[in-house]
Amino acid sequence: MAPADTNQTSVAHPAPHGSPAHHPAGAALVVGALGVVFGDIGTSPLYALRETFLHGTGLAPTPDHVLGVLSMLFWAVTLTVTIKYVVLIMRADNKGEGGVLALATLATRGLDGKARRIRHAVILFAVVGLALFYGDAIITPAMTVMSAVEGLSAITPAFTPLVVPLSLVILVALFMLQSRGTANVGRLFGPVMLLWFVVLGVLGAWQVVKYPAVLIAINPIYAYHLVTDQGFGIFWAFGSIVLAVTGAEALYADMGHFGRRPIRIAWLGLAMPGLVLNYFGQGALIIANPSTVHHVFFELVPQDYIIGLVILSTMAAVIASQAVITGVFSLTRQAIQLGYLPRMEIQHTSETAIGQIYIPRVNWLLMAGIVALVVGFGSSGALSGAYGLAVTGAMLVDAALATVVAILVWRWSWPLAVLVFGFLGIPDVAFFIANALKIPDGGWLPLVVAGLIYFTITTWRRGRRLVAAEMSEGALPLKEFLERMERAPDRVAGTAVFLTADATHTPAAFLHNLKHNKILHERIIILQVDTMDVPLVSDANRVKVERLGKGFHTVIAHYGFTEQPDIPEALRACRPHGIAYDEMETSFFLGRETLVPSQHSKLGRWRRDWFISLSHSASASKTFFRIPPNRAIELGNQIQI
């Protein structure tokens, strides 16, 4: 499973090194976390409470219903976000990184080699979680930006026709700017979101002071009364209440950027208080004037100040969208490195920040999907039916994987782990069922997107395994080849580097070159790239070199799943091992498969054709591994699939 011959890198376990999870909680990190981590959940007040009373939820803006909804919102945020994610799941870091792939890696690391069924189940959950993430990512930017721009309708209904065109302009401009990187814009994210959460808290507190009795909704008895009053009909309301916790998974997924302590401080110190105060302020306003429910967030300010709030909301929505887009880029790179997706062109937009990347193909596909959503649904209210199902599914996946980690890594007893995460998973199950009821109203959309991603990932992984098996069949062990090589062919000056999936066997490209050219270079390097199950690999552990004699060396280059492999850089790291890399004296030989459809493919017809299409679209090895194009030689190999 290596770069040249299998179109992916292999996954190995690393030598341990320091974890970046424990960053100092400086003010800059806390403010930075506000700008990146809380964009999605921070913009939920734009629509969460409004949608709970609209679009057929069966609730009316009466004091009893308002208090019941506020109680549910408060406890959903407390249980799902604060306790489950901030307190518990954020303890599970893979050398400082979070997210569904990191959680799955931790879970599998705690298994022994015999637990194949559990390992396969964990990998399946990881693939499902990854697919649901993409299903959510295509909706979030459209939902948040439209919700912010719809504030113009609160000024005058005459602005309503401008909502869709203006949302499209903002979103398209955002995607057009991705290739330039987010370094300069990113410096503004934290201060803007700091202002946003302060404004949320102040506006909410202003209304709460006018109607302080609304604070009694903290008592969970009001949520209980609402559930008993509505019966099974409460699930329709759950489908909108869940909008208040969308983005909770970002707390864990973005942990590697800031560390858990700054994120916890930012959440408990500002983000959560601002959100809760704003929800209670909106509730107080609805109790005082039920007619405000249609634009309740923008009704928190006097008419003359709405335009300013619309501008600030739009900026927050753009930041939330940028955070999602950045997350898609980061997770896509991890998926490529771990062999879940084919290679794609990855551009680094910063010379100093490894996380700032741009993936053109993903950018344009995401933009096309989001533009289609804005045009097709036309409003955030209509789109809310599609929002939430992917998020709640992803939360259930996180809870299941966290249960495995708690048992295998944290050494909890299995009854305790099941009890804790089972209890915390009750709201997730309720929200998931509620959102499943919205499938006819748009909930099918994230499922279709997630289904396509799941089909793509499983097809790619299965196809690459078949290709690897085909290429390894009859492969000659490298040491055995050297023993048989009694008389060396003519040697030419320079170094030849052969990329391979398995450095212990003779690469097909090497045999093809020897067969047709009948020469060998003075120095032969058989190079294998391993993707480790940690985010970063230290320079000291970058390469492992072995001398085989007769001018042959094997080099295994290690990279973390957040790093971009760089073959010339790996060769330069071999200097302490006695290998001096000179680009002008080095030739790179790469294997490139030509896949031929088989009438009796083990993939089946649909998967076979899709796999061949994915393979053809994959970036060339020389581009992905940063090999100088004028030093690369590709040798073909035909494989039936």
Residue-wise pLDDT tens digits, 240-288:
898 899 888 777 877 776 778 888 999 999 999 999 999 999 999 999 9
Q: Are 390 and 446 in contact (CB under 8 A)?
A: yes
Domain 30-461 has CATH 1.10.3720.10: no
Q: Is the pLDDT of residue 207 over 80?
A: yes
> Per mean pLDDT, which of 205-219, 381-395, 433-447, 503-517 is the most reliable?
205-219
CA distance 192 to 194: 5
What is the share, in percent, of the chain residues with pLDDT greater than 90?
39
What does the pLDDT read at residue 9? 45
- Domain ranges for the chain, please list them: 30-461, 476-640
**Alpha-carbon distances of 631 from 16, 99, 208, rounded to whole Å:** 35, 38, 69
What does the pLDDT read at residue 6? 40
Q: Which amino acid, one-letter code, is at 53?
A: F
Q: Is the pLDDT of residue 5 over 70?
A: no
What does the pLDDT read at residue 4? 41
Query: What is the 3-class SS of 411-456, one letter each residue?
Result: CCCHHHHHHHHHHHHHHHHHHHHHHHCCHHHCCHHHHHHHHHHHHH
More confident position, 483 or 21: 483
Query: What is the 3-class SS of 4-40, one letter each residue?
Result: HHHCCCEEECCCCCCCCCCCCCCHHHHHHHHHHCCHH
More confident position, 25 or 330: 330
CA distance 136 to 133: 5
More confident position, 65 or 479: 65
Backbone angles phi, psi at 186, to 5 degrees: -60, -30
More confident position, 224 or 250: 224
Q: Are 560 and 537 in contact (CB under 8 A)?
A: yes
pTM score, whole prediction: 0.81
